[in-house]
Amino acid sequence: MEASPRSWRPRPGLTRTQRSREQDRAAGSASNRLVDVGGGRRGLASVALTPSGKTGRVSAVLQWTSDGRRRRLRLGEVDLPTRSANLREAWRLAGQTGLLVGEDTAGSWASSPATRASMRSNRSRDTKPELRLRSLLHREGLRYRVSTKPVPHLRRTADVVFSKARVAVFVDGCYWHGCPEHGSIPATNRDFWKGKIEGNIRRDRETDRLLTEAGWTVIRVWEHTPPTEALEVVRQSLAQPPGQPLRANGR
């Protein structure tokens, strides 16, 4: 049985920029796609997905250009239902090859390789808390948009958006958004991280204000909030006119 086209085939009509952004999202960032191409130079790699007629799964290949020649490394087979999920899994496999070198870390904001690895593991979308909440919302028969701007001209992206009801949901990570229960500031480079997290908090409050002024209800959910509790806050907000920002589990 051949793999479903949905599991490997790209959307038709994508521009080169859009294809590159798709790879960036799957890898976690453009810097996570870097490989050493020799001479101290680095180049962007990409993952190609093709169906395997023999196994019915999807074959993943890492490819890049070095000295004008196309290089390819077979990563193995992936077997998830969507192209985006298979791309993410393929990039995870690519990370195990030792070929990816990441960004130049000289003068990096991170104090150690372990810190850099921890920071890279903080995904900007499709985190486990988001997926759990979205699963419950979908089970309730609620339909929504994911990772989109509630107000097109505002450079603010919400994790879950109910356009008709004008409800925007943000699932905030405890570290990056300064959770009073679980947030902490590293001892190394403390001033840098303190400023970074405080800046995120200020931006969150500004986002709440801008969206509320535009007639939206803003819901903020900590990543540690039980999904059922977050679901109840969303359900109640959908039944009411747009109002003040809400925080599931307090702030």
Indicate the SS3 state at residue 218. Answer: strand
- Are 72 and 160 in a shared domain? no
Q: How many folded domains does the chain comprise?
A: 2
Distance, CA of 137 to CA of 235 (rounded, Å): 9
| 25 in any annotated domain | yes
Exposure of 108 by Cβ count < 10 A (0-12 exposed, 13-18 middle, 19+ buried)?
A: middle
| 160 in any annotated domain | yes
Cβ proximity of 142 and 162 under 8 Å:
yes
- In sequence order, which residues have a C-beta less than 8 Å from that of residue 211 and are 6 or more positions away? 150, 151, 154, 156, 168, 218, 245
The CATH number of the domain holding residue 38 is 3.30.160
- Are 172 and 73 in a shared domain? no
| 118 in any annotated domain | no
- Number of neighbouring beta carbons within 10 Å of residue 76: 13
pLDDT of 55 reads: 81
- Are 234 and 159 in a shared domain? yes
pLDDT values of the chain reduced to their tens digit, one per residue, 251 residues? 678 999 999 999 999 999 999 999 999 988 899 988 776 678 899 999 999 877 888 999 999 998 788 999 999 999 899 999 999 999 999 988 878 886 543 444 444 444 454 444 445 567 888 999 999 999 999 999 998 999 998 888 999 999 999 999 999 988 888 998 888 777 767 787 788 889 989 999 999 999 999 999 999 999 999 999 999 999 999 988 765 556 665 44
- Are 90 and 165 in a shared domain? no
- In sequence order, which residues have a C-beta less than 8 Å from that of residue 29 and are 6 or more positions away? 120
Distance, CA of 7 to CA of 83 (rounded, Å): 4
Place of tokens 């051949």: 2
> What phi, psi does 79 have (nearest 5°)?
-145, 50
Q: What are the start-end ranges of the H helices in 67-221? A: 83-95, 113-120, 128-139, 190-213
Distance, CA of 170 to CA of 150 (rounded, Å): 11
The CATH number of the domain holding residue 153 is 3.40.960.10
- Which of 104, 138, 173 terminates a domain? The answer is 104
- Are 231 and 151 in a shared domain? yes
Indicate the SS3 state at residue 174. Answer: coil
- Strands (E) across 209-249 are located at 217-222, 246-248
pLDDT of 218 reads: 95
| 63 in any annotated domain | yes
| 65 in any annotated domain | yes
Distance, CA of 78 to CA of 155 (rounded, Å): 35
- Are 40 and 86 in a shared domain? yes
- Which of 69, 104, 139 terminates a domain? The answer is 104
Distance, CA of 45 to CA of 173 (rounded, Å): 29
| 113 in any annotated domain | no
Indicate the SS3 state at residue 190. Answer: helix
- Give me the numbers of helices (H) and strands (E) for the chain, helices first please: 6, 10
Q: Give strand pairing partners of 64.
A: 71
> What phi, psi does 3 have (nearest 5°)?
-60, 145
Residue-range definition of the domain harbouring residue 240: 128-248
Between strands 158-162 and 145-148, the pairing is antiparallel
| 114 in any annotated domain | no
| 56 in any annotated domain | yes
Place of tokens 């952004």: 21
